[in-house]
Every structure is written in structure tokens, then in C-alpha cells.
Amino acid sequence: MNKQDLTAMVAQILEEMGQPPQVKAGAYSPTAPQPEANPTPYEDGDFVPDVTELDLRKLYLTEDPENGEKFRKMKARTPARLGSGKAGPRYKTLTMLRFRADHAAAQDAVFSQVSEDFAQKNGMVEVQTRCRDKDEYLTRPDYGRCFDAENQRKIRAAIPGTPRVQIVVGDGLSSAAIEANAMDCLQALREGLKLKGIDPGTPIFVRYCRVG
């Protein structure tokens, strides 16, 4: 094929590409039978049930288990994703939706803040690391492990002498977990120390805290 033949072939292809379609879009009808749409149990305007309200301790999706009753008893003791079932080689839709919802909640917890009055209403002295905001806290972990001079003075003022035990609460990567669980853990820790004759002192709350 010489250059002239190649040029003619390219011109013919371009001409064919520019031709209008033989069948108009509005007149098209499929030749093969199309599957019917499956009806849904919901009407327009209905709300789909919230998957985050499902109790993972009771959510058991394994079909035809060998010993389902004992597995349910074990599952009732943990919110771990056990007995989630499969649809072929994949997880079931409900399992995946719940996982994605929990993952979204975890991401929200990372970017959320512990309430401003959390330390004050729980009798703690609040200090802050060198991180100025949440963005810097996430991008500069080293700043979350040190304090400026002002916060160092606040810590020294809050800790008289050399205590045997000093309780420190840090906001970490989940402010939701701190607000939900920190005070219960702190109360149990204080009571245990008092039983051993140890003064728990004044706890310190560290905002934008990293563990080195």
C-alpha cells in the first residue's frame, strides 16, 4: 500500500464516521428481550432503614450454619464483624453498607473536636500541644508530642512535686471515643488507685495529643 492508497483509505474512514446513524435514537428498540425490573418493598418517598442502627451483636447473616446457636452466644459478647455471611465470593450488601457507614463515622471522628468544656466540666487541666489546629495535628504528628513554653508552665503548675501516678487524657484520633468512654475509664482508674493508697491527683487533658 502506497501513500496515495493510505490517504484514500483514511479519507473514506473519516467520511463514514461523519455519516448520520442509520437508526434514530428515538426509534431504537432492542432486539433481545430485556429483563424486567425487580419490584422494591419501598414506595417513592419512603426512607430506607438506617444500617447504623443495627446491633452488630445480633446481626448474624451466615446461612445454614453448623452450630448457629452457639455462634450467636459468642457473637453477643462482641461487636466484631463475625458471621457476616457471603453472597458467592463477596460480602452481602448489608454487610458492605454497614462497613462503609462505620468507616464514614470513623472518618468524621478523626476530623471532629472534643467539646471546649470537656476538661473543665470533668475537673481536668487542659493543655495543648504545638499543633495549632486539626489539620496541623493530622499532617505534623511530631507537633502532637511536644508543648510550647506556656503549656509547659501550665503542666508544672498542675502537678505539684513528683506524683507517683499522673493521669493524662489525650483526644487522639477519635474525639467521639474520648467523650463516650474516657470518664468511665478515669473513674475506675481513680477508684483503683485510692484502694492502693495512691493519690490520683489532678488529671490533665491534652488537646491534639499524639503518643510518641
**Residue 173 in this model has a pLDDT that exceeds 90:** no
Task: Provide the 3-class DSSP secondary structure of residue 98.
Answer: helix
Residue 42 lies in a domain: no
What Cα–Cα distance (Å) separates residue 162 from each residue in 128, 146, 205? Answer: 21, 20, 18
Domain with 151, as residue range(s), is 118-207
Which of 63, 78, 111 is at the close of a domain?
111
Same-domain status, 96 and 134 = no
The whole-angstrom distance between residue 132's C-alpha and the CA centroid of its chain comes to: 23
Same domain, 123 and 100: no
Count of the separate structural domains present in the chain: 2
Last residue of a domain, one of 111, 135, 161: 111
DSSP class of residue 170 equals E
- C-alpha to C-alpha distance for 153 and 155, rounded to whole angstroms: 5
Residue 19 cell numbers, joined: 455519516
Question: Tell me: the pLDDT tens digits for 79-125?
Answer: 888 888 888 899 998 899 999 999 998 888 888 889 999 999 999 99
> Which tens digits make up the pLDDT trace of 42-64?
666 666 678 888 888 888 888 88
What pLDDT, on the 0 to 100 scale, is given for residue 107?
A: 85
CA dihedral 146, 148, 151, 157 (to 10 degrees): 90
pLDDT confidence bin for 144, thresholds 50/70/90: very high
- For 14-42, the pLDDT digits (tens) are 677 765 555 555 566 666 677 777 676 66
